[in-house]
Amino acid sequence: MSTPTHGLARYAADLPAVDRFVTLGEGGTPVIALDRLASRLGLGRLSAKLETANPTGSYKDRVAAMTVSLARHQGYRGWVATSSGNAGLAMAAFGTRAGLPGFLCVVSTAPQEKRVPLVPYGIGVVAVDGVGDGASATSGTGLMAHVAAAAERHGLFLAITANAHNPLGMRGIDTLGYELAEQVPDMTHAYAPTGGGGLAASLARGLATRSQQAAVVVCQPLGCAPIARHLAGELDQPVVGGCDTLISGLQLPAPPDGQLAVDAVRASGGWGTAVDDAAILRAQQLLATAEGVFVEPAAATSLAALLDDHERGRLRGDDHPVLILTGAGWKDQSRFAAPAARIPTAQVDDVPQAIADWARHV
């Protein structure tokens, strides 16, 4: 058989040992050039890593694949996790693939599009209030503590997607760094949307393992930017008292991998950039209209941060930044529901006129 281009097994030599990797074809995601945006910004090169192309539409498939492979290998009877939606869906899919039952505590304010696809897998789910929108520093850590204790009590693999809780499973995300080192050897900056800090820390670890020198930039919404603000010297600790952002996936005031991310980002020569929700939603729209790439708002935080850095003169014309586009647009589309409802209807014979009206304006 030829070397597989998808699946964590390709990197088995660098990952925790398991007898078999459970796979749905994760990883091996494409890198594309964002030439229109690059020329608008006066950058020689700008690229995007399309983690949206993973089987459940987010980079969390990498950690889910590693996690369930470990859980099977170690003889666990199931898994338990917390999630804002993406990790939960990835765990539901890969857990089912592995034949392992699972229980998920999903943020109750998670977008409908992240909760609906959980249903076909038949996993146990509870929607938890007080985390996500308006989260406090203690609610998230309290939930994770409950879940960790329950994992112990019931003999379940603790599948929270943070190095602090699931260090071996998170090694699956290192493969993102391995792939980037192969795909974009001249990458100067990796822009990582950041909530709990696990992605930034694991990506930096993967790049360092391959001696890839890119600076990892932590990208956070201003309303919940403990890691970015600590890196900027504004906070003593990477923790804030509460969360005031609607960007699903990035609402962690007390990020479990905060210090790990800070240390890894500093070692890479990177920094943190915080941008407000409006800038993130504008970046989401810009990515769609300028490049044809539709991502969820959390993923667009990378472009919003890059635009902010560019305006502040933090990037040079010969840099080659890469946006980590962590999640697909279909995962959080409520802001497009109203415009979609306004799409006009037409009778069959009115269609030529509708096209003619449109064609006059393009």
Ligand X SMILES: Cc1ncc(COP(=O)(O)O)c(C=O)c1O
User: Beta-strand (E) ranges in the chain?
Assistant: 31-33, 47-50, 79-83, 102-107, 124-128, 157-158, 189-193, 215-221, 272-275, 321-325
Q: Which of 151-154's residues contact partners 24+ apart within 8 Å by CB, and which partners?
A: 151/80, 154/78, 154/80
Residue 59: CB minimum distance to ligand X, A: 7
Please give the backbone phi and psi of residue 158, each rounded to the nearest 5 degrees, phi first.
-80, 110
Least distance to ligand X from the beta carbon of 43, Å? 23
Given the complex with ligand X, which of 45 and 49 has the nearer CB atom? Answer: 49
Q: What CA–CA distance (Å, rounded) separates 105 from 255?
A: 17
Asked if residues 253 and 224 have their Cβ atoms less than 8 Å apart, the reply is yes
Minimum CB separation from ligand X for residue 54, in Å?
11
CB of 344 to ligand X, least distance (A): 33
- Site for ligand X, rule CB under 6 A: 58, 84, 86-87, 193-200, 249-250, 296, 298-299, 326-327
Minimum distance from residue 86 beta carbon to ligand X (Å): 4
Which residue, 102 or 195, has its beta carbon nearer to ligand X? 195
Measured from the CB of residue 296, what is the shortest distance to ligand X in angstroms?
Answer: 6
CB of 45 or CB of 239, closer to ligand X = 239
Q: How far apart are CA 68 and CA 190, in angstroms?
A: 27
Burial 16-41 (b: 16+ CB within 10 A, else e): eebeebbbbebbbbebeebeebbeeb
The nearer residue to ligand X, 72 or 179, going by C-beta atoms, is: 179
Please check whether residue 322 is in contact with residue 309, taking contact to mean a CB–CB distance below 8 angstroms: no
Closest to ligand X by CB, 4 vs 117, is 117
- Nearest residue (CB) to ligand X, 45 versus 125: 125
Strands across the sheet with 102-107, in order?
A: 124-128, 102-107, 79-83, 157-158
Sort 317 into a burial class: Cβ within 10 Å, 0-12 / 13-18 / 19+. Answer: exposed
Cβ proximity of 250 and 218 under 8 Å: no
Minimum distance, C-beta of residue 121 to ligand X, in the bound complex (Å): 18
Q: Considering the complex, state which of residue 45 and residue 322 has its C-beta at the smaller distance from ligand X.
A: 322
How far is Cα 215 from Cα 321, in angstroms, rounded to an integer?
Answer: 9
Nearest approach, Cβ of 249 to ligand X (angstroms)? 3
How many whole angstroms separate alpha carbon 14 and alpha carbon 226?
A: 31
Instruction: Tell me how far apart the alpha carbons of residues 253 and 235 are, in angstroms, rounded to a whole number.
Output: 12
Which residue, 156 or 300, is less far from ligand X as judged by CB?
A: 300
In 85-166, where do the E strands start and end?
102-107, 124-128, 157-158
Considering the complex, state which of residue 104 and residue 200 has its C-beta at the smaller distance from ligand X: 200
Distance CA 302, CA 314 (A): 14
Report in angstroms how near the CB of residue 126 gets to ligand X at its nearest. Answer: 18
